Amino acid sequence: MTVLSDLIENTQAPTQKTPAIEPLLELLHSRYGEAIVAIFLYGSCRTQTDVQDGLIDLCVVVDRYDHAHSNWASKWANAVLPPNVYFAQQAGLKTKYALISQRALEQKLKAKWDQYFWARFCQPLTRLYARSDASARWLVEMQQTALQTFYQHTLALHQSADEAMAFWAAGLTKTYACELRPEPVGHAVRLIEKNHHYWLKAFEALRDEQLPDLGSQWSLRQRWRIRPLTGKLLNMLRLIKAASTVSQGIDYIAWKVARHSGVHMDIQDWMRRHPRIGGLSLAWRVFRRGGFR
């Protein structure tokens, strides 16, 4: 075990502050059964004890899409542009969960152009279920990979960085700019401050580690020039896909944009009847009104 893996293991372990969401776990197991490798909790609800009124962010990792999907279209969509996002509720609890395979997650946490996964899963998360001890160790390794990838890409922009909090906040802010991300100014700083110990220790550990070679510093900097274009395109495609997989997806997306940016959009009935086309129309209208930054 390394200093970084010890930190991740301790962070992933459930605590007394971990929300009691067993009904949701039971629901997910009834849907995907033995295909589930791991389930973890992330996002703003991770440290909230009362989540009755919140929307809980979960990630379900499966061994193969064949085992998780009976519908060929869902399987194809998940393989081409992971993750698939679904909405579920049980016993008064509501969740928006992402579904992805082990292999896809491993690849995406090392992605050169798509920061979607390593920007999210380098952040603190809580392991709620692991199929085996090996699965639990694998999840620690995956978060370690996410942190390493994030650190090296950010270091290419801030090679003289010596202050942990400013370094991570700058990196997160940069990834927000590569997505259709309706986050208010200063959100990255507040997120870092909320988990100060985690980010400080991760920074110190990564600074002392022998990290995998991701290419020259010049090539890493050039990727940041292209990533805002590729990132926003992929984000829009995921948004349109979520509009058809999440229950009342159009309404959810409009609510989330309004919650983060203050931009309110009227949803027409035809958009609910045709969520894919409606999602494309909504994304364009929100973008024009400044709902995405």
Check residue 126 and report its DSSP letter: E
For residue 174, pLDDT beyond 70: yes
Q: What letter represents residue 146's amino acid? A: A
For residue 292, pLDDT beyond 60: no
- pLDDT at position 183 is 67
Average pLDDT over residues 171-193: 83
Residue 80 belongs to domain with CATH number: 3.30.460.10
DSSP H helices, the chain, are: 3-12, 22-32, 65-68, 72-80, 102-108, 116-121, 133-155, 164-176, 187-194, 196-208, 217-245, 249-261, 269-273, 275-288
For residue 284, pLDDT beyond 90: no
Task: Please report whether residue 293 resides in a domain.
Answer: no
C-alpha 153/C-alpha 151 separation (Å) is 6
Of residues 274 and 55, the one with the higher pLDDT is 55
C-alpha 211/C-alpha 36 separation (Å) is 30
CB atoms within 10 A of CB 207: 14
Q: Report the predicted TM-score, pTM, of the whole model to 2 decimal places.
A: 0.86
- Confidence category of residue 160, pLDDT binned at 50, 70, 90: low
- pLDDT at position 186 is 80
Q: Could you read off the pLDDT of 35-70 as tens digits, one per residue?
A: 999 999 998 888 877 777 778 999 999 999 999 998
Q: Could you read off the pLDDT of 192-251 as tens digits, one per residue?
A: 999 999 999 999 999 988 888 888 888 888 999 999 889 888 887 887 777 766 655 666
- Confidence category of residue 108, pLDDT binned at 50, 70, 90: very high
- pLDDT at position 35 is 97
- pLDDT at position 116 is 93
- pLDDT at position 205 is 95
C-alpha 250/C-alpha 274 separation (Å) is 10
Task: Please report whether residue 134 resides in a domain.
Answer: yes
- pLDDT at position 138 is 98
Least confident of 19-33, 90-104, 205-219: 205-219
SS3 content of the chain, % helix, strand, coil (to 5): 60, 10, 30
Task: Please report whether residue 86 resides in a domain.
Answer: yes
- Confidence category of residue 159, pLDDT binned at 50, 70, 90: low
Domain holding 198, by residue range, is 3-288
C-alpha 85/C-alpha 106 separation (Å) is 18
Q: Cis omega (within 30 of 0) on the bond before 228?
A: no
- Confidence category of residue 181, pLDDT binned at 50, 70, 90: low
Task: Please report whether residue 115 resides in a domain.
Answer: yes
Token pair belonging to 198: 């985690």
Check residue 34 and report its DSSP letter: G
Residues 6+ apart with CB under 8 A from 203: 151, 164, 167, 168
DSSP codes joined into one string, 157-186:
T-TT---HHHHHHHHHHHHHTTTT--PPTT
C-alpha 208/C-alpha 116 separation (Å) is 26
**For residue 290, which of 214, 181, 215, 197 has the smallest C-alpha distance?**
181
- pLDDT at position 291 is 58
**What is the pLDDT of the chain when averaged over all its residues?**
86
C-alpha 23/C-alpha 28 separation (Å) is 9
CB atoms within 10 A of CB 98: 21
For residue 261, pLDDT beyond 70: no
**For residue 201, which of 151, 259, 142 has the smallest C-alpha distance?**
151
Question: Into how many domains does the chain fold?
Answer: 1
- Rg of the chain, C-alpha, whole Å: 19
